[in-house]
Amino acid sequence: MKKLARFVGFAAWSLLMASSADAHYGMLIPSDSMIMQADDRTVNLKLSFSHPFERIGMELEKPKVFSVRANGKRVDLANMLRKIQVMAHTAWEADYKVSRPGVYMFHMEPMPYWEPAEDCFIVHYTKTVVTAFGDDEGWDAEIGLKTEILPLSKPFGLYAGNVFQGIVKLDGKPVPYAEVEVEYYNKDGKSKSPTDYMITQTIKADQNGVFTYAAPCSGWWGFAALNTADYKLKHEGQEKDVELGAVIWIRFHDWK
């Protein structure tokens, strides 16, 4: 019986470690992050919720908000969303035609997602930035989300190995020593992690909410700064915490 108890305990611990090795991410991936004159001017955007490195999808209800901020205006795009499948789960996509030069900040606010394993709700305010036709002014502007990562490095035109810096903000204020989870979008499933500890990398911001990370390879990388909301939501009649994630997706390119 003692051996059985030890086995059950070890199995439970193993499952806990496995579930904590990868992180949830709101995902907003455009077909192109830098549109040049000769490129296709229609950007396809895929919205999903997943463990991006391990390619484990989760259900994403139709987002509460999906919009773009460009040229000083914010435009609602929710009516453009079409239901699709990403990683065998419900996701959404939209095609957006870029008609003029500028920096286009796409973002989504999902419906609260109940996560039994963490006994809390998850809301990831997710954004990505697309630049078009040589105009790169305003890439460091704030959208004004409940929580967001304000880039200190251009969120496009980065080589693998370049440093990306950002400020974690919550209610418009920097978050000192915020914890930021970083994960690679293993789109083709070819990348392998030496250990589970390396699936999600974790860094901390400094006293001003500033964090720094150098991506080791090309591709899409997600940065998620997590904080607990100052409100709770009810699940089955009980008040539960809400995890707020400020998420930004950045593409790094090979040096050729």
pLDDT tens readout for residues 64-94: 999 999 988 999 999 999 999 999 999 999 9
Q: pLDDT for 6-26, tens place per residue?
A: 433 443 334 333 444 457 899
Is 131 inside a domain boundary? yes
Is 3 inside a domain boundary? no
Is 18 inside a domain boundary? no
Amino acid 23: pLDDT: 78
CA 123, 129, 135: angle at the middle one, nearest 5?
160
Buried-state track 95-127, b at ≥16 Cβ within 10 A, e below 16: ebebeebbbbbbbbbbebbeeeeeebbbbbbbb
Helix, strand, coil: what percent of the chain each, to 5? 10, 50, 40
Amino acid 8: pLDDT: 38
> Which range of residues forms the domain containing residue 65?
24-253
Is 4 inside a domain boundary? no
Amino acid letter, 205: A
Amino acid letter, 54: E
Rg (C-alpha) for the chain, rounded Å, is 19
**Integer Cα distance of 205 and 42 in angstroms:** 36
Is 19 inside a domain boundary? no
DSSP codes of every residue in 172-207: TEE-TT-EEEEEE--TTS----SSGGGTSEEEE--T
Is 17 inside a domain boundary? no
Report CA torsion sign: 112, 164, 75, 142: positive
Phi then psi dihedrals of residue 90, to 5 deg: -60, 130
Is 224 inside a domain boundary? yes
Is 172 inside a domain boundary? yes
Residue 95 half-sphere exposure toward CB, CA atoms < 13 A: 3
Helix, strand, or coil (residue 241): strand
pTM above 0.85, yes or no: yes
Q: Tell me which residues of the chain have a pLDDT lower than 50.
A: 2-21
Amino acid 22: pLDDT: 54
CATH of the domain at 145: 2.60.40.10
How many domains, the chain? 1
Amino acid 12: pLDDT: 38
